[in-house]
Structure 1
């Protein structure tokens, strides 16, 4: 969904809908303080969606739907979420073909609006008729990490790939370049991190991925 056209049913200025697909988890889309609200991304072509990641700000959705549509008129629900309390939501093994991806918030988790830092979609063009929607998901291990985290990056990720560690609120904790590929993984020192949950943003031109890890 990176830098794809996006619309929302409302916006709390200056937190525009485009911030939910800008690849930067320090920015966010924010809605007005009412239920329901919707954020819709035009992926540009129909894709067989398999995975959707939603990174919420603290003003998260308690209940929401992940939906897909071919024509932006008739919608199919790919995932129903109720009772959510987490800012990082990863939805795996989705099954549906859609050009339009919609998050429909039906119940807010706070007194504020719905606020999304980043939404990411993964899938492929049906019948392999074009490029994949996103690169294969980045893997990290061990998770939880101790002194170091191994970030599995293929040769398509250059040495200048930016690795940024953020806390759950989106604040930058550490940053470094991935460095040259000398094996299947690139090391990320984590000894200086306090125990807890973190987000790792992996970014190269045109591609941004976010993965969650824990420091023990």
Structure 2
């Protein structure tokens, strides 16, 4: 099954932001990744997020393609091994299906060595096929837990506030309170035009 769609991807070269590496893994045949023009040694890779038994890579090349390139695999993203090579690419070659023996990998890379046109490299879609690996997965990245302080006993004990005596007498139901009539405020007359 296809295992690279919308996974984290990167490239050693991008021509413009509108041709970012992620566009080669978005499942949309109308978007593409493109490298800077005139640069030979360029790679495009995807992190599958876990180790899979990878056995096939399909690349749908735009006219600007590689004359020479390898498909490389890695479990750690550092050390890559070539599993398939092409040395006779031509502009407009379209879909190239690379099939090889199933190999455990988390990272899949297209490593281009030589351009077939005067432009850069451009890929509409790069699909990776494989199955769940029965081999060991690389160790997960370690996250150091942080501890949050927990409230403990305080050295300054607090007590609830005590009632304070009032200095004004409270009205009693038998003592009538004087009331004052409301004071009228100034009256504003509308001005005539």
Considering the TM-score relative to the shorter chain, is it more than 0.5?
yes
CA distance in 2, matches of 1:65, 1:73: 16
What is the DSSP-based 3-state SS (H/G/I as helix, E as strand, rest coil) of the residue aligned with 2:79?
coil
Greater Rg over alpha carbons, structure:
2
C-alpha displacement at 1:51, in angstroms? 1.1
- Tell me the residue number matched to 2:8: 5
What is the DSSP-based 3-state SS (H/G/I as helix, E as strand, rest coil) of the residue aligned with 1:92?
strand
Q: Which moved more, 1:20-29 or 1:92-101?
A: 92-101
- Tell me the residue number matched to 1:16: 20
Partners of 2:104 and 2:135 within 8 A in 1: no
2:94 pairs with 1:90: no
CA distance in 1, matches of 2:65, 2:101: 21
C-alpha displacement at 1:128, in angstroms? 8.8
4+ residue runs over 4 A deviation: none
What is the DSSP-based 3-state SS (H/G/I as helix, E as strand, rest coil) of the residue aligned with 1:94?
strand
- Tell me the residue number matched to 2:29: 25
Q: Which runs of 5+ in 2 are unaligned?
A: 137-193
CA distance in 1, matches of 2:101, 2:68: 18
Instruction: After superposition, give the CA deviation of every residue in 1:128-180 in whole Å (9 maximum; x if it has no partner).
Output: 99xxxxxxxxxxxxxxxxxxxxxxxxxxxxxxxxxxxxxxxxxxxxxxxxxxx
C-alpha displacement at 1:77, in angstroms? 0.6
Partners of 1:12 and 1:31 within 8 A in 2: yes
2:66 alignment partner, one of 61, 71, 82: 61
Instruction: Map residues 160-179 of structure 1 onto 2, 5 A cutoff.
Output: none
Question: Normalising by the residue count of structure 2, what TM-score does the alignment of the two structures yield?
Answer: 0.64
C-alpha displacement at 1:96, in angstroms? 1.5
CA distance in 2, matches of 1:54, 1:82: 15
Which has the larger share of strand? Answer: 1
CA distance in 1, matches of 2:105, 2:44: 15
CA distance in 2, matches of 1:40, 1:92: 17
Q: Which moved more, 1:89-98 or 1:105-114?
A: 89-98
Matched positions, count: 129
CA distance in 2, matches of 1:17, 1:123: 21
C-alpha displacement at 1:93, in angstroms? 3.3
CA distance in 2, matches of 1:94, 1:55: 21
Partners of 1:52 and 1:119 within 8 A in 2: yes
- Tell me the residue number matched to 1:203: none
CA distance in 2, matches of 1:7, 1:29: 10
